[in-house]
Each structure stands twice: as structure tokens, then as C-alpha cells.
Amino acid sequence: MELEGETTVEGPWVDQTVGLDDIRADITMMRTPDGHGRVELSRFHTPPAIRAEPESAPANALGMRRIMFAVDDIDDVLARLRSHGGELVGEIAQYEDIHRVCFLRGPEGIIIGLAEQLSQNRPAGVMASEEREIP
């Protein structure tokens, strides 16, 4: 992902939008390599962030617990994320001859999924089960 922009937000309009008082937060906008998708990352300075659930909640916990990325080299990305505190949740698994996938947990407990496409026979992100006809 590529950095699109960063800013700090604060003031009454932010408080009204988020529903908290005295907000001061850093916002970073990341753009996907194809330019079609964006992810906004926020870090709250005030009020202090609170943990609403256990840090080690499993991948099937309700809420926004994980985000998945298509990558060219899962081993390389995994090594780079480990150097920043990422920990593999299970192990790297291979789905047929199509994808290698894994989940890792970042320092804040958020789970990130990585998927490396092995086969060029179908677009990235399309699993074989999605192509089967439903009776």
C-alpha cells in the first residue's frame, strides 16, 4: 500500500462526527497499488484509546477484527511484518494450487490476512468455491 496522505484532526466537527469530546487524532490514508481502494488508519491521542475486547480475540470474534490483503510474496511480507511485531496466528496454508494464505496478529491485536495467488487461472481473491455453480 502507498501513503496517500496524513493529517491531524481535532475540534468540534471531529467531536460531533465521532461522538466523543476533545478528540485529537492522527489520520493516515493508504492507497492500494491499483489506485482503486483506500484504507484509513487512525491513532487517537485524546481521549486515550480503550480496549473493548480481549487483545487476543480469535478471528471469528464479532466486529472489525481483521483485514485481508493480496500479496505477491507471502514469505517476504510476513518477514517484514514480523520485524514490526506481527505474530503468525496459525501457519501458512496452501489452498489447492491456487493460494497460500495466513493470518497474523499485529501489536495492537488486529488480525491481518495475507493471500498469495499461485495460479494465474483465476483472478486474485476468487476462490474455487466462488466459481462453482450453485444448484
For residues 71 and 91, state if they share a domain: yes
- Measured CA to CA in angstroms, residue 90 lies from 80, 94, 101 at distances of 17, 12, 10
Question: Which three three-digit cell numbers place residue 50?
Answer: 480503550
Q: Structure pTM?
A: 0.61
pLDDT tens string 4-52? 889 998 988 888 887 889 999 998 888 888 888 788 788 889 998 777 6
pLDDT tens string 41-63? 888 899 987 776 666 777 677 66
Contact 27, 42 (CB under 8 A): yes
What is the domain-level CATH number for residue 120? 3.10.180.10
Provide the domain limits for residue 130. Answer: 51-135
For residues 35 and 76, state if they share a domain: no
